[in-house]
Amino acid sequence: MNDNARLNYDAFTTLLEQHNMVATAAEVHGVICGLICGGMAKDDARWQQHFNDLLNDGFGLSADVKKAVNMLFYRVYEELLSQSRFELLMPEDDEPLDDRLDAMMEWAGAFLAGFGMVQQELNKASPELQEMIQDISNITQVSGEFEQEDEESEAAFVVLYEHLKLGATLAFEEFGTGQPVARRPTLH
């Protein structure tokens, strides 16, 4: 498997299954995004232990999985830092909507777990980010709202997907080591 293939959802899923990991590719990506957006620095190796604690019962990863996860961590970090090309690791658009929705809910839950692992001061977040974190929490429970696979459901899925991307970007801007958003002065 080449390095580019490791960032393909199906290929990443296959790699995880081959190494008996019960986590999905969406969960792996969600935890990594949550750790980074919660403030885990690029050069802070503790992220690997947090990752293992959340997705592998505290055990280390096999060499192949560790290489793929490390590559994904650095790629996500760079995408968020450069504010370009950041996408969630999800099944392709031609996969059934139910499968993509399940992956989205897994990603959202994993993001919150990773974020909460390193960010203990959500009360210091902007009201926008606090609302966004609540929205992400709500997204973990949307499956029943998609009764059928039609254009309306597809459009709703895209809105939720873009909202998750926006939430991750906003969290990174506030707590990550990216470019901090200029704070408005407090008026007294």
- The chain-wide mean pLDDT, for the chain, equals 86
Q: What would the mean pLDDT of 10-30 be, rounded to a whole number?
A: 93
Average pLDDT over residues 163-175: 94
Quote the pLDDT of residue 180.
Answer: 43
Look up residue 9 and give its two tokens: 């959802």
- Average pLDDT for residues 178-182, to the nearest whole number? 44
Q: What is the pLDDT of residues 104-156, one digit of tens each?
A: 999 999 999 999 999 988 888 999 999 999 999 999 988 666 667 788 888 98
Q: What is the pLDDT of residue 3?
A: 43
pLDDT in tens, 74-109: 999 999 998 878 999 999 988 989 899 999 999 999
Reference 23, options 114, 115, 144, 92; nearest CA is 114
Query: Over 60: is that where the pLDDT of 183 sits?
Result: no
pLDDT value of residue 7 = 64
Class of domain 5-175: mainly alpha
pLDDT digits (tens, 9 = 90+) for 39-56: 998 888 899 999 999 998
Q: What is the mean pLDDT of residues 154-169?
A: 93
pTM, two decimals, is 0.88
For residue 5, give every residue at least 6 positions away whose Cβ sits within 8 Å of its Cβ, in sequence order, or none. Answer: 11
Contact yes or no for 107/51 (Cβ under 8 A) = no
pLDDT at res. 70: 94
The percent of residues in the chain predicted with pLDDT above 90, rounded, is: 62
What integer pLDDT is reported at residue 152 of this predicted model?
Answer: 86
